[in-house]
Amino acid sequence: MRQCAAVTVTIALRHIKKRFGSQVALDDVSLELGRGERVALVGENGAGKSSLMNVLYGLYGADAGEVAIDGKKVRLRTPADALAHGIGMVHQHFTLVGPLTVAENVVLGREPTKAGLLDLPRAKAEVAATCARFGFVLDVNARVDTLSVGSQQKVEIVKALHRGVSTLILDEPTAVLTPQEADELFAVTRRLSDEGLTVVLISHKLREVLSFATRIAVLRRGKKVAEVTPEESTQASLAALMVGEREAPAAPPASTPGDVVVALAHGACGKLKDVSLEVRAGEVLGIAGVDGNGQRELAAVLTGLSRLDGGTLHLLGSPQPSLTPRAARRLGVAHIPEDRLHHAVVTDFTVAENVALGRQHQAPFAKGPRIDFEGRLSRTTSLLEAHDVRPRAPSLRLGALSGGNQQKLVVARELDANPKLLVAVQPTRGLDLAAVDAVRSRLLDFRAQGGAVVLVSLDLEEVLALSDRVVVLYEGRVTGEFTRGEFDERLIGERMLGVRDA
Amino acid sequence: MLLALLSSVLDAAPAVVFAAVGATLSERAGVVNVGVEGMMRAGAFGAAAAALVMPTPLGVLVGVAAGALVAALHAWLCIQGRSDQVVSGMAINLVMLAFGQFLLEAAFSSPAGTPAITQLPKWFGHSPLTWLAIVLPFVVHLAVTRTPWGLRLRAVGEKPQAVAAMGVRVTRLRFGAVVLSGAFAGLGGAQLSTAVLDHFESHMPSGLGFMAVAAMVFGRWTPLGAAGAALFFAFGDALRISLASSAPGLLEVVPQGVLLALPYALTLLVLSLQRRGAARAPAALGQPYDPELR
């Protein structure tokens, strides 16, 4: 089945260069794709993986270099050009129209017509036929926004296959899937590639890359630094290639839990139906679950952003029937919200102003009713240094910082208030590996100093790497609880899907 | 009285119907159009001015073109220039308000209005545009719900990235929808100056464009809903005229200003009664499309 040595090259990207302003996204990258190959692109955020594929898909114009298909040079200036050459792409953020049906989404752009009118019955029949041919189970009449994330991704793939593509690019396809959905996705794409489909997989998850790809290209800072086979690679060797020189984070040492910091009994709030849990000082409680099963509401309840509809909440031993965000902060609750740009920072403010946010009325940020500019500056300077936020420029507009540095600043600010409890929601989403490590080690430092952490993440690997205990939420209820040592990814995955003991 | 009321609805409604149905096209494509008032004004002036030198039906076409031209400016600012769409629309209203007055005084040296033109002929007691206003919403409804173009239009207002990824040009699709929207508004304006009256008046369309935008929202961004809402608002307008003419004694009790405000008050009342959240705007409404941002 595998054909690594002598594949026929069908698509060749040659010496591709692409700049965004002063930033070099791709620097002389060449890549060849053979028929039926499964090529994985790995690299840190900003290494150029997505940029390279967006060039191939006609979304970005390359500044230099060329693309050849079957030995002939082609111009791919729009996605329409790429589709015409049989190249399809499934984006990390889906490009589906929520209020339209599956069939309408799939035929969009090439609709069957009868007498000038949309021929919906034929569209449905054609899409159903495509689904059947490739083994996808989808209701073509369903509105896309009523489908699960896994099904929406199938719609994306069906969209490409319906166009008759011979090359399929998958950009971070499993970021939002459960392990089961991810397995299913890889099983299907593997079968398709055995039938001759060329698949390009962009992924951060080295384990799935190693098990799925027939060839792995490693990008680092816009350059292709290596091309390897999975047989000759390990996760560690790939990670080393991706980042150059870097140590893998050590597993957290065993924790010694102290007093109960959070006690939630039968908590209910919106999608949160009935959740009881406890978090103690000096431990990380991970919340695992598929997006939208009550995690967001749980974080909102703990930080005072939402009021409980039912159940009771105790923080540090005292009941909190009507917690407000301000009261929560005073009690020592810190919050790293899921959406940094909307809920944690003001990008048009300076770094120092952002550090003062939430504590602008306290020393050292204020003296009486006035802003204490000097106090703010010196505190910010020391925080930037302690948390390695770059550049060390307190008066720079925050929006000028990279996402990783913005997040490091948020973490620095939240921990600077000496909290007892840290509620961290997706704290490393979208960060590059270096920043991920920095944020994770800050969480573990905080825990080592006796802090309690509630970690909500859709990335199961992250939850398992950091947590002392894991609670699984499904449809607003706890469907499983695991302590370190009994972590079982398959079992947790089943609980995330609501599968109970047989 | 009732028959007279109905008859005056048939005269008053088409302008708002055309403009409201047109506005749905722009907004379903994702471009906010509060410039309807200015586009109607361009249509009203263009039609009346052109009808002085050519047959009135041709003048109406000039009005349609004038509305489309102003809309093209809005489209260019919003789509190519990525300006704030509400600001662009309001700017167009203000500019057209002043520009119309300027042209009146420069070309006709009369601040009140253009000289009289031959009105559009009457078919069965009403102008042909009245009958067109009854048919057109259904045609547009069909186009939006049952044609490939309509599917793309609905999709581009919800998620332009999806349309682009399927190989359809987002900018072209949106530009077309906004220009078409302006053509409809221009037709509405032309109806005012060539069918309701027989000249352009300096205050035209005196808020009917805003009423059309309200009708579009009340009609939940659907052509048939917008047309229905426009009809309802026109009823308020007709009621005012009918009250004033059939019961002149009323004017001694109720100040004229209150009567004049009737249709607008009705618009406000209805919008405030509408269940909150019932009207869902297209998801990407007001957001410029940037292909390198996803």
Does the pLDDT at position A502 exceed 80? no
Per-range mean pLDDT, top range of A237-246, A432-441, B270-279: A432-441
The tokens describing A126, both together, are 């054609």
A300 half-sphere exposure, CB direction, 13 A CA radius: 16
Q: Which of residues 166-185 of B touch A (CB under 8 A)?
A: 166-169
Asked if residue B89 lies in contact with residue B32, where contact means CB atoms within 8 angstroms, the answer is: yes
CB B153 within 8 A of CB B144: yes
E strands, chain B, are: none
| Whether pTM exceeds 0.80 | no
pLDDT tens track for A25-47: 889 999 999 988 999 998 876 68
The nearest CA of chain A is from the CA of B149 a distance in Å of 9
The domains of chain A, with CATH numbers, are 9-243 (3.40.50.300), 258-332+420-502 (3.40.50.300), 346-418 (no CATH)
- Distance, in Å, from the CA atom of B205 to the CA atom of B188, rounded to the nearest integer, reads 9
CB contact under 8 A, A117 and B291: no
Q: Which residue has the tokens 């997505």?
A: A50
Q: What gap in Å lies between CA B173 and CA B152, rounded to an integer?
A: 8
Judging contacts by C-beta atoms under 8 Å, the chain A residues touching residue B154 are: 97, 99-100
Q: Which residue of A has its CA nearest to B143?
A: A117
Q: Which two tokens stand for residue A159?
A: 């969209």
Residue B158 with chain A: CB contacts under 8 Å: 97-100
Structure token digits, residue B267: 């618009």
By C-alpha distance, the chain B residue nearest A55 is: B292
Q: Which of A43, A107, A498 is nearest to A244 (CA)?
A: A43
**Cβ of B162 and A95 within 8 Å?**
yes
The count of other CB atoms within 10 Å of the CB of residue B40 is 39
For residue A71, the model assigns a pLDDT of: 86
pLDDT tens column, A168-196: 999 888 877 778 888 888 998 999 899 88
Neighbouring residues of A108: CB distance < 8 A, sequence distance ≥ 6: A97, A100, A159, B151, B152, B155, B162, B163, B166, B168
Joined tokens for residue A296: 């967001």
What was the ipTM of the complex prediction? 0.84
Of A95, A110, A159, the CB nearest to B159: A95
Task: Select the more confidently predicted residue: A218 or A490.
Answer: A218
Distance CA(A235)–CA(B169), nearest Å, equals 41
User: How big is the CA angle at A403 (ends B291 and A171), to the nearest 5 degrees?
Assistant: 50
Q: Which of B142, B159, B222, B292 to mutate to test the interface with A (most CBs of A within 10 A)?
A: B159
pLDDT at A6: 43
- What mean pLDDT is predicted for residues A427-455? 88
Tell me which range, A268-272, A292-296, A380-384, A425-429, is most confidently predicted by mean pLDDT.
A380-384
Query: pLDDT (tens digit, 9 = 90+) per residue, A229-260?
Result: 999 988 878 877 876 654 444 556 666 788 89
Residue A426's SS3 state is coil
Judging contacts by C-beta atoms under 8 Å, the chain A residues touching residue B155 are: 97, 100, 104-105, 108
Q: Where are the alpha helices (DSSP H) in B76-147?
A: 85-108, 128-146
**pLDDT over 50 (residue A10):** yes
Task: Categorise residue A36: left if φ over 0, alpha if ψ from -120 to 50, beta otherwise.
Answer: left
Stretch (H or E) spanning A181: helix A179-194
Q: Helix, strand, or coil here: B69?
A: helix
**Which residues of A lie closer than 8 Å to B, measured between beta carbons?**
20, 59-60, 78-80, 83-84, 89, 91, 93, 95-100, 104-105, 107-111, 113, 116-118, 159
Cα A435 to Cα A246: distance, rounded to the nearest angstrom: 12
